Amino acid sequence: MTHPRRTLEAYLEGRLSPAREARVADHLRGCEACRARYDEAVRLRRALAGDPSAPTPQERAVLARRVADRVRSGALGTGERAPLPASRPVQLAFGTAAAVALAVGLFVAFGLSASPVVGEIRTATGVTVDGRPAEPGTPVHAGERLATAAEGLAVVDLVERGTMRVFPGTRLAVGGGAEEVRLLGGEVWFRIQPGHGRFVVRTARGTAEVLGTSFVVEDRGETMEVRVLEGRVRVEDRDHLGQVRVGANQKTLIAPKGPPSPPLRYDPRDDENAWERFWRSVWQALQGAVEAVKGALGGTR
Amino acid sequence: MTDEPQALLARLREGDAVAFEEVIRRYDGVVRGIVSRMWSGAFDREEAMQEIWLHVWTRRGGIDPARADAFGGWLATLARRRAIDLLRARGRGVETALEDGPILQVGPEQPGRLRSAEVEAAVKAFESRLRPQWQDFFRLYFVEGLDYAEISQRLGITKLRCRYMKKVLLGRARRSGALKAALGVGRETP
């Protein structure tokens, strides 16, 4: 990495993504000149704030946020029930009446829960939350594991964030404030509302960070693919080897021990068709079950 | 956040990262005071503080929320031990008598100290040369530490304008001869 002169200020202010922040910190650890420059920048800001020997309020806030971020990312990597505490409390000042209704309803029903509610299941077939069968209306709390069976599907409304369509055979956990999803395997289609800050999807291979868009993340174990239907997504591999911006109708693939590929062309109809196909098969299975029950009831009369 | 210390510590003990973030802000001075005596550079200090706070997180089961008034002392002991471990792990000796040394800042608030009259005068002179709106921005951003959203509301300017003003002011401050001299820019970090 070249000397991050321009990004030092952004690092100091805590304005970089976690991945870029990690890269700058790595560089600072090994570069005395940049550390000296960083120290000077800190001293200047402290002096402007009125006391060269005391940290600025911003400095304290950035430190607290960095530590809490490390706790959150580490907590999700434990493999147990992710304790993933909230990064911030779920706000009640939602933008839409629907969001208010959803939030109030969830808090009235589950307000005493230890972890905040981060979403509600709208559609569920073959879905479990922390091992318990889930149905439409089931709340999802921060850190709980949501899983779909091989023939299961779920649509989850994320509080203040948008929705996610969870494909069959997927496992994931949502972070507090619904700003982070840890994809542990499988495939999820996100439709994220713009204007609500950062939203990050992490897999074992890398991260995808968006501000408002529609995209699919597929964790295939050794590889990860991100496909963008609308908006833009920044994708970075776990080892910070590279970073690409993927726009609408593009995709990128992270291979084992490699950076994300340059954006490739992608036809969003593939995912739309796949979702329709899964949805139809689930619907047909449900219809079949209903018919079977009707038949059984008719036979007993 | 206005949680009482007991409630805040109880939430931290339960593993709530939001509460942890708030605890870090409130008790920043305890850890910072210890680290300041053991590391010299701002970056090194921040790294050490991160490691210490992460250590606190792993030991949060030892927090007794009912004894919130003793938390500062508990934290200081833990922080000092961890700091010494970090120094040893990095192959540095623990030169000063840290084991027995007084803790400079115990308590949630860190008092301002070592105010340099020279720096203060240079900053005042710098500020006095700014136009009124720029002075307002200077105070809100650099002194009060407000973010762009709050400043843009108060001053009726866009966030983009805020960013521009910050950039310009930092550039001017960096070029200010009086400030440079007062801060010892170019000399070794104290």
| Angle at alpha carbon of residue B186, lines to B182 and B187, rounded to 5° | 75
**Do the Cβ atoms of B173 and A44 come within 8 Å?**
yes
Read off φ and ψ for residue B68, nearest 5 degrees. -60, -30
CA distance B142 to A229: 41
Give percent helix, percent strand, percent coil of chain B, each to the nearest 5.
70, 0, 30
Q: In which band, very low, low, confident or very high, does the pLDDT at B185 lie, cut at 50, 70 and 90?
A: low
Cβ neighbour number for residue A284 with a 10 Å cutoff? 10
- Cβ–Cβ gap A53/B179 under 8 Å: no
Contacts with B38 (C-beta within 8 Å, 6 or more apart), sequence order: B48, B83, B87, B94, B96, B98
- Evaluate if residue A47 carries a pLDDT over 50: yes
Q: Which of A119-123, A263-267, B7-11 has the lowest mean pLDDT?
A: A119-123
Cβ B53–A53 below 8 Å, yes or no? no
Instruction: Identify whether the C-beta of residue A189 lies closer than 8 Å to the C-beta of residue A155.
Output: no
Q: Tell me phi and psi for residue A284, to 5 degrees.
A: -65, -40
Looking up tokens 């050794």 gives A222
Is the minimum CB–CB distance between A5 and chain B shorter than 8 Å?
Answer: no
Indicate the residue type of A204: A
Residues near B33 by beta carbon (within 8 Å), at least 6 away in sequence: B103, B104, B105, B106, B110
- Please list the residues that pair with A120 across neighbouring strands: A139, A157
Asked if the interface predicted TM-score (ipTM) of this complex is over 0.85, the answer is no
Intra-chain end-to-end CA distance of chain B, in Å = 35
- On whether any CB of chain A is under 8 Å from the CB of B46, the answer is yes
For residue A209, the model assigns a pLDDT of 79
DSSP class of residue B189 equals: P
B:108-147 residues touching chain A, CB 8 A cutoff: 110, 112-116, 119-120, 122-123, 126, 138, 142-145
pLDDT (mean) for A212-228: 84
Output the pLDDT for position A80: 29
Q: Is A38 on the interface with B (CB under 8 A)?
A: yes
Q: How does pLDDT run across B133-174, given as a tens digit for each residue?
A: 999 999 999 988 888 899 999 999 998 899 899 999 999 998
The answer to whether the Cβ–Cβ distance between A71 and B170 falls below 8 Å is: no
pTM check: above 0.90: no
CA distance A140 to A159: 10
- CA angle (B32 as vertex; B26, B33 as ends), nearest 5: 110
Instruction: Assess contact for A247 and A228: CB atoms under 8 A.
Output: yes
Residues 163-192 of A with CB under 8 A from B: 176
Q: Quickly count: other Cβ atoms within 10 Å of residue A93's Cβ.
A: 8
Half-sphere exposure (CA, 13 Å, Cβ side) for B18?
Answer: 18
Which residues in B lie closer than 8 A to residue A25 (C-beta atoms)? 47
Average pLDDT over residues A239-264: 87
Q: Looking at the predicted structure, is the pLDDT value of residue B126 above 70?
A: yes
A52 touches chain B (CB under 8 A): yes
Gap from A172 CA to chain B (nearest CA, Å): 20
